[in-house]
Amino acid sequence: MNDLQSPFARKLGAFVALSAQEFSVLNRLHSRRKVFQPGRDIMHEGQRNHAAYILASGWVCSYKLLPGGTRQVVDFQIPGDFLGLRSVLFRTADHSIEPVTRIEASEVLAPELLDAFSETPRLATAVLWAASRDEAMVVEHLVGIGRRDARERTAHFLLELAARLKLVGMATTAGFECPLSQYMLADALGLSAVHVNRVLRELREAGLVTFQHGHVTFHDFEGLVTLADFDLHYLDHDGPLLT
């Protein structure tokens, strides 16, 4: 894929207009493309001296396992996201990363990343913006689990996914493809799978949104925004939520 059209370039381009030199550096970062199959971690908590990855296609899950064997999903990554960036800079992974679908990702070693940042400081600033945006999402997830009820939490999560996917050309107000199971949603939202199923049914019966057969369909987009009290500012988006 041409870097001008890659999800990573589109995402960073939302923050800064990339120059020819910066696209050239991005091209170098994409030089080692790898394929991973779902269900097997590409990075595990506690791992040291591992690479980071730029996700080109597919969906990924970041999670932590608790001593009792339960799992908390920290976030889902979509095309254009960095995988393991913080863990590379910390030298030790603080969470595990598992492909949800078949993925293609470009391997980036820490020295390569630091060289790229040294050569193109504006690119480093754009990556810092993306990392800060990811941190803001984690804060919203914490607020959701702590203070939003199950319907608000689920609606907010689906709207956030839509906004993220729209940035890389993969969603509209009509909806988006979503390979996540109800069990995965449960692990992300701090609910049981049975509770998630009930909430999705309630949202569908209310005429707001349907999530079935791997596709999210918005029936009343503005109504869902109102229910979730969804404010796009934490994602640092300009313009309307979706087009």
The pair of structure tokens assigned to 62 is 């970041």
Check residue 50 and give its pLDDT: 80
Check residue 159 and give its pLDDT: 95
- Residue recorded with tokens 């979706």: 242
Check residue 170 and give its pLDDT: 94
Residue 188 is which amino acid?
A
Check residue 238 and give its pLDDT: 56
Q: 150-167 vs 121-147: helix axis angle to the nearest 10?
A: 160
- Quote the CA–CA distance of 241 and 222 in Å, as a whole number: 10
The closest alpha carbon to 156, from 187, 132, 185, 182, belongs to: 185
Check residue 239 and give its pLDDT: 44
CA atoms within 13 A of residue 76's CA, in its CB half-sphere: 24
Mean pLDDT by groups of 10 residues along the chain of 243 residues: 70 85 88 93 85 94 88 93 80 87 94 90 88 85 88 95 92 95 94 96 98 96 94 66 46
Check residue 4 and give its pLDDT: 52
Q: Burial level of 111, CB count in 10 A (0-12/13-18/19+)?
A: exposed
- Quote the CA–CA distance of 197 and 222 in Å, as a whole number: 22
CB atoms near residue 199 (< 10 Å):
22
Q: pTM of the prediction?
A: 0.89
Check residue 242 and give its pLDDT: 47
Domains and CATH numbers, the chain: 7-131 (2.60.120.10), 148-235 (1.10.10.10)
